[in-house]
Amino acid sequence: MYCILDIETTGGKYNEEGITEIAVYKFDGHEVVDQFISLVNPEREIQPFVVNLTGINNQMLRTAPKFYEVAKRLVEITEDCIIVAHNAEFDYRVLRTEFDRLGFDFKRKTLCTVTLSKILMPGQISYSLGKLTRALGIPVSDRHRANGDAVATLKLFKMLLAKDSDKTIIKDAVKSEPKLQMKPDLKLILNGLPTDTGVYYFHDHNGNIIYIGKSKNIKGRVSQHFSNPSNKSKKIQRLVASVSFEKTGSELVALLKESEEIKRIKPQFNHALRRDVFTHALYNFVDANGYINLKIDKADGRRRHITTFSNLQSAKNFLFRAVDEYQLCQKLCGLYDTKSSCFKYDLKECNGACIENEPADAYNKRVEQFIHKNSYDSKSMVIVDRGRDLDERSVILIENGKFKGLGFVNLNYQINHIEVLETLITPMENNRDAQHIIQSYLRKDKRLKIVIPNDKQL
């Protein structure tokens, strides 16, 4: 659990500042579960430059509660939470100073979004909250007011959580959870899980990830793990202390994140080096008569393929449909073994490329249309799918035929401006498994929107 916090102060000498406004959002990693926003009477004068910066003046604070009047609420809302702030050292120091004046020893773990941004979003021109959020396309209102800055920090932190491929933030948060000191109740763990699409993580008592999975229904799938009588599931049930999750909205994003993170984190109950998720691929070659032939064969990473498949039967089914859609020849697609005409020619559904009755250039044009549609080799595009919320979209970036990574956006501006998009996405490895997952999903899901960002040539 996190508390996103922002504080405005009177300014003045070090450790003598007073709080003028405070905003706290209690965030469970997915949504805000509590909040507290208030002006605070600092019982001292505000520096003129602070008045000009924030718009908060002494007159506004005369009837505001003093710090001791809001202190109990702050203790309660931040209990068992990690405090997250932009330049957390400053906010935490000011907060502790106020509690020290009351004789209360206020201690919480902290996370700084400046430090996290430098690690997870390197190369930014500036890491000030205003310039960083502007560069990322995050809308900010009431800048230099506690609530406005806290909301902006919350949006930034959500991006940072999504970009944390090693799950360092989540593992540290899980490890600090007080409930891990007790024997875990699997039913209670299930009650805290959603029925949404996403990736889930099983943690042991030290916060380490011991298993990663994905599902269209996280709660339902985890329930199966907890009730499964297999030896592997029983071992997981004995060791699991907590389950964290990341909603993705898109099944494609969940598939890609699961594949990438299993390879990166290597949980003990996942295969350390997962085997390729595809076995067959579709290749093309030109025969002695100048016709482009298609051929299904066992996947070979040394050869350039059109697309890949999880098994031979799915490859054949796909190619039979392509023969019908593009009026291709069964013989030249390797689906009808004959030295003469193919079966469809006898049905007058093939134009005769199999016996050279159709000119090669006319036939090849249709084959090339098929290849172009089903291969993203050398293409640059953004695949847009469902997001985690109604106003959000997931994005997958393909650049010159290579998978670059994925992320989440709220604005068309962020999709169409590649320099912003490249900052928002979580970089991922362009391996054969990722390519297969994307190509397979593109074949079966026709709703996906394809966008070419317009302000930079990819």
Among 234, 265, 296, the domain-final residue is: 265
By DSSP bridging, strand 82-85 and strand 2-9 are: parallel
In a domain, 270, yes or no: no
Overall domain count for the chain: 4
User: Which two tokens mark 302?
Assistant: 């040394």
Residues 50-99 have pLDDT tens digits of 888 888 888 888 889 999 999 999 999 999 899 999 999 999 999 999 99
Task: List C-alpha distances in Å: 268 to 45, 166, 172, 198, 265.
Answer: 58, 15, 18, 20, 9
Kindly state whether residues 145 and 47 are assigned to the same domain: yes
- Outline where 18-145 has alpha helix (H): 48-54, 58-61, 67-78, 88-101, 113-120, 129-135
Same domain, 152 and 213: no
Answer whether residue 330 is part of any domain. yes
Regarding whether 390 and 325 lie in a shared domain, the answer is no
Can you point out the beta strands (E) in 291-333? 292-298, 307-309
pLDDT exceeds 70 at position 163: yes
- Residue 146 sits in the same domain as residue 195: no
Q: Same domain, yes or no, for 50 and 156?
A: yes
Are 116 and 234 in the same domain?
A: no
Entry pTM:
0.77
The CATH number assigned to the domain holding 232 equals 3.40.1440.10
- 146-163 and 113-120 helices, crossing angle to 10°: 40
| Domain-located, residue 41 | yes
CB 294 within 8 A of CB 332: yes
Residue 150 belongs to domain with CATH number: 3.30.420.10
Q: Hey, what are 131's tokens?
A: 């310039």
Each residue of 276-294: pLDDT tens digit?
Answer: 578 889 999 999 999 999 9
End-to-end CA distance of the chain: 39
Query: Does residue 339 sit in the same domain as residue 395?
Result: no
Question: Which range of residues forms the domain containing residue 110?
Answer: 2-163
Q: Output the pLDDT for position 152.
A: 93
State the Rg of the chain over Cα.
28
Could you tell me where the beta strands, DSSP code E, fall in 275-326?
280-286, 292-298, 307-309
Q: Tokens 């996947």, residue?
A: 299
Q: What percent of the chain has pLDDT over 70?
A: 95
Question: For residue 182, what pLDDT is reported?
Answer: 47
Query: Does residue 351 sit in the same domain as residue 441?
Result: no
Residue at 387 is within a domain: yes
Which of 318, 340, 374 is the C-terminal boundary of a domain? 374
Provide the β-strand partners of residue 450.
Answer: 383
In a shared domain, residues 369 and 326: yes
| pLDDT tens sequence across 249-266 | 999 999 999 989 998 888
For residue 442, tell me if it sits in a domain: yes
Is 345 among the domain residues?
yes
Residue where a domain stops, chosen among 265, 296, 323: 265
Whether residue 79 is found in the same domain as residue 148: yes
In a domain, 275, yes or no: no
Which pLDDT tens digit goes with each residue over 171-190?
777 766 655 544 567 888 88
Residues 14, 148 within the same domain? yes
DSSP 326-377: HT--TTTTTSS--SS--HHHHTT-S-SGGGT-S-HHHHHHHHHHHHHHH--T
